[in-house]
Chains A and B, each alone.
Chain A
């Protein structure tokens, strides 16, 4: 499986997982001038920006660790950019990470949600 295919499949697995957890998906692959966020969703009274990290099992390091400071800044800027155009502010918002680990055939081995994974630092 190519890297891009892995990513697309991972995002689909993440969407299904989040929907099952009560997330209402608002946007996918939202692009700002500063970068892209994979999923925007509503969860209870939170507006949630979700970064999906997909990897095949033999790669090393946790998906959370694979987020560079530059990627972090882009995610925060994109979350801020999205909110520039909202008519009503969310009571609260956060950035979550969904880590999807799959085998060589593309079957999910592990799906893990970290709420509020990326903050101001």
Chain B
């Protein structure tokens, strides 16, 4: 697929489109799920995936604001999360914890979280649009889209669900494992997090297979 100008130059923020969904609709697919993950690069906590089936006709003003979760403020993500979950035909999330990320590697863990998210959809999808990856042992027709979280509407919606669900859980984990600032940085390798990690050493939800954690363990 030819990439739009905005992606190549990194200057213009482009809006995700319904091009993939519309073309699948024309081919007869009715329940197309967008799939994305959150927390793949974090040093602590789980990797979370979401699968979202959105309705075809959606004339809501907020739909215009849907972007890759990384391009939105936390407040905007919360706002959009509420709207997406209200109108979605189905939403499923999956979660694979740090211990399994360490024993299986992050790619396998991410695929597992995505597979879980699909299996938790209450309406079974007939096609999957996935950010970047394909799900090797899922027999549904599917397409991995490079930069799908920026380009494809359903995947962008999934990126928001995954991000908000994971962030909420990281705030909860902060209460169990205080002193690392997890509620603030959500497990990502900020300067503050690395400093606490050095001072206190890793806790049970740190990913020991990730180098900055391994180095202080």
Contact = CB atoms under 8 A, between A and B. Distances in A.
B90 A119 contact: yes
Interface residues of B, number: 34
17 contacts: A33-B176, A34-B172, A73-B168, A77-B172, A80-B95, A80-B97, A86-B99, A87-B103, A88-B100, A89-B100, A92-B119, A119-B92, A119-B122, A120-B50, A120-B93, A121-B85, A121-B91
A26 B161 CA distance: 30
Contacts of B122: 116, 119
Interface of B: 46, 50-51, 85, 88, 90-93, 95-100, 103-104, 112, 115-117, 119-122, 161, 165, 168-169, 172, 175-176, 204-205
A57 interface: no
Contacts of A93: 116, 120
A121 B98 CA distance: 23
| Interface range, A side | 20 to 34
B97 A86 contact: yes
Nearest to A90: B116
A83 interface: yes
A19 B26 CA distance: 46
Contacts of B175: 33
Nearest to A118: B120
Contacts of B95: 80, 83
Contact of A92 (B88, B116, B169): B116
Nearest to A87: B99
A87 B100 CA distance: 7
Nearest to A114: B122
A38 to B, nearest CB: 19
B120 A120 contact: yes
Contacts of B119: 92, 94
Contacts of A86: 97, 99-100
Given A80-B95, A94-B120, A119-B90, A89 B165 contact: no
Nearest to B101: A89
A84 interface: yes
A84 B48 CA distance: 12
A88 B46 CA distance: 14
Interface string A85-121: 1111100111000000000000000000000100111
